[in-house]
Amino acid sequence: MLNNTLRTVFRNFSTLFLVVAVLVVPVHLAYTLIYKDVAQVEELHPYIENLPRGRQVQGVGRAGLAEARRRFVWVTVAELLLLPLLAGATRRVVAVDVAGGLPGVIDAYRHVFSK
């Protein structure tokens, strides 16, 4: 059973990767564009947390860092809420592969709610 599962995953890896990337990459890209200043000073986050109130590094202070982290929690929650959608698309990819067809991302999302 494990052998068949791994064979199916590796045979359809690029399709399954794109199924996930179509939803996750735009969300993370939007987050990074909104909080680009925070992303640019990622290596300095521990030091920014210890700065006195009102001090900033390249426009990022303790408050901005805390807000970006809170928003990232919401990004993670949104991704968790998308898991059923991803599971349905993955189910379609596997079903098409088992039937001998060529699975695709668009087809997977078109049939995501069908069983």
The letter for the amino acid at 63 is A
Contact assessment for residue 13 and residue 83, using Cβ atoms and an 8 Å cutoff: no
**pTM score, two decimals?**
0.78
Six token digits for residue 30: 């939007």
pLDDT digits (tens, 9 = 90+) for 56-78: 888 888 899 999 999 999 999 99
The letter for the amino acid at 80 is L
The mean predicted confidence, pLDDT, of the chain is: 91
Average pLDDT over residues 30-40: 94
Sequence spans of domains, the chain: 2-110
Cα 94 from Cα 109, distance rounded (Å): 13
